[in-house]
Amino acid sequence: MLTSQHSALLNSTVFLNDPSLETRYRQTKIVFTIGPATSSDEVLKQLIEEQVDICRLNMAHGDHAWTRATVRQVKRVCQETGRHIAILMDIKGPEIRTGDVGDPLYLEQGELFEFLMERSAERISPDGVRGVDVNYPGLANDVAVADRVLVDSGLIHMEVVTKQPDRIRCRVLIPGVLGNRRHINLPGVRVGLPSLTDKDRADIEVGLEEGVDFYALSFVRDAAAIEDLRSLLGASQSKARIIAKIEDQQGIANLDAIIEASDGVMVARGDLGIECPYEELPIIQHQIIKACIRKSRPVIVATHMLESMIEAPVPTRAEVSDVAHAVLEKADAIMLSGETTTGKYPVECVRVFKRIARRIESVHDDEPTRELALPTPKGKMLRSAVYLANDIQNSGIVVFSRSGYLVRMLSSLRPKVPIYAFTDIPALFRHLLILWGVEPFQMTFSENPEDTLGNALDYLKRRNWVTEGQHLVVISNALASGQVIDTLQIRTVQ
């Protein structure tokens, strides 16, 4: 008996007068960030019915009471709509910020300015140089003379000219207005901050109590940061998945090891675009997406995808191209941030994502991923299944899983047909929601594999995912002479 499901596609706006795009299966998943603009039951229900897949909680802006209430609200609205989505907690992570300056300070080009390691320090030095305290006392130990210091999302550029244990002195290269508690980036500098702060640990504890499905770890510099979080989750016997956010040059340098250690990656283009030359960002995004597909890890492209739609009802042409580029590269998911937290048009943003994704997916090539290594006989069977399903008109792949491995491998092969993944584990059902091209369903498995398969096909037909006479490629187990063996079958929907 089926206990929950990811619902069928609803009608959407016709794009370029092509009616086939109205109901085309969408392979690229959508992550939205919940906030004031989407916190009502009415808007949240609209988003869920528009087929968002994952709800992101940004812990940089949320306290524990809000977190508990929001997780419970999302789960309740899912029950009411009959369509279930996953929840991702985005942990704030370590960061360096300036203290309060009172009235904003205008920093002129060529001016000297100091960052103070102690809050009690005088903000004007004996020789008249202004300064502000920072929240990281080890900053003076980490930077060197001639290092760049970028303040307020890179709007203000400085260069270190001298350093002392209690302060660093910089020269302003690009002027600007410095307000309170501005973020500091140090491109290429390895800082000694811990991977998890006390706030992060407290936030994770709330997530564990509320049953969060994914944790996105900010500013991941190496695989050790992932292992620290995994140990924390393991101590509570949590099966939640870890998404590594790549946001600086250290993360890029250790990319392969980070991908191996994580359960997925987010291309966090906000800080990444500050830490790296902006002309390198498209290349870095391309490399991360390809590396994740090659290593069979889901990848999310995030930040500034439809930024103008925070205020405007339609995207810019550049934004359409940016979203299309991520879909063309077959990223698993694309993400909305400010667009759905404080934006005026959150539901419209999701519809824009859907329109672009469906149109771009309609021109994808049909060749399965060649770079994915599948050396085992079972792996080769999966590749054969994709070739077979791609070659059969109006087909699909049906797979049963309790670990997620088969589903993840099939997704990484990027077939042109839907992957219908059935599991009897509620947590795994939600974990599968992030995977490209996968439509997961939770159902009770029978002791007889043939009965399980029959129930799955009946359900797909009943919910109009498939029609009578349609041929499906099925990866399943079968009993043969008392042994369970892996099988690749072609089944016709009756």
CATH of residue 153's domain is: 2.40.33.10
| Residue 85 shares a structural domain with residue 118 | no
Evaluate whether 6 touches 440 at the Cβ level (below 8 Å): yes
CA–CA dist 232, 213 (Å, integer): 15
| Residue 30 shares a structural domain with residue 90 | yes
| Residue 44 shares a structural domain with residue 73 | yes
CA–CA dist 2, 38 (Å, integer): 30
3-state secondary structure of 268: strand
3-state secondary structure of 360: helix
Residues carrying an active site annotation? 56, 97, 245, 303
| Residue 396 shares a structural domain with residue 356 | no
* Nearest C-alpha neighbor of 36 from the set 403, 397, 310: 310
Q: What is the CATH number of the domain that holds 428?
A: 3.40.1380.20
Largest CA distance in the chain: 89
CA 258 to chain centre: 15
CA 422 to chain centre: 23
Evaluate whether 132 touches 179 at the Cβ level (below 8 Å): no
Instruction: Give the angle 220-196-213 at the CA atoms, nearest 5°.
Output: 80
Q: What is the CATH number of the domain that holds 240?
A: 3.20.20.60
Evaluate whether 104 touches 85 at the Cβ level (below 8 Å): no
| Tokens, residue 56 | 């992101």
Is 69 a member of any domain? yes
Evaluate whether 327 touches 321 at the Cβ level (below 8 Å): no
pTM of the complete model beyond 0.75 = yes
Burial of 93: CB neighbours in 10 Å, binned 0-12, 13-18, 19+: buried
In this structure, the chain runs to a length of 494
CA–CA dist 198, 219 (Å, integer): 15
**Containing domain of residue 177, as a range?**
96-185
Q: What is the 3-class SS of 215-263, one letter each residue?
A: EEECCCCCHHHHHHHHHHHHHCCCCCEEEEEECCHHHHHCHHHHHHHCC
| Residue 211 shares a structural domain with residue 255 | yes
3-state secondary structure of 267: strand
Pairing mode of beta strands 397-400, 471-480: parallel
User: How confident is the prediction along the chain (494 residues), in pLDDT tens digits per residue?
Assistant: 444 344 332 233 333 445 455 567 899 999 999 999 999 999 999 999 999 999 999 998 889 999 999 999 999 999 999 999 999 999 999 889 999 998 999 999 999 999 999 887 778 999 999 999 999 999 999 999 999 999 998 999 999 999 999 999 999 999 999 999 999 999 999 999 999 999 999 999 999 999 999 999 999 999 999 999 999 999 999 999 999 999 999 999 999 999 999 999 999 999 999 999 999 999 999 999 999 999 999 999 999 999 999 999 999 999 999 999 999 999 999 999 999 999 999 999 999 999 999 999 999 988 999 989 898 999 999 999 999 999 999 999 999 999 999 999 999 999 999 999 999 999 999 999 999 999 999 999 998 888 999 999 999 999 999 999 999 999 987 767 777 788 899 999 99
Is 10 a member of any domain? no
Q: What is the DSSP string of 83-121?
A: ---EEEEEE----EEB---SS-EEEPTT-EEEEESSTTS
Q: What single DSSP character describes residue 175?
A: -
Is 13 a member of any domain? no
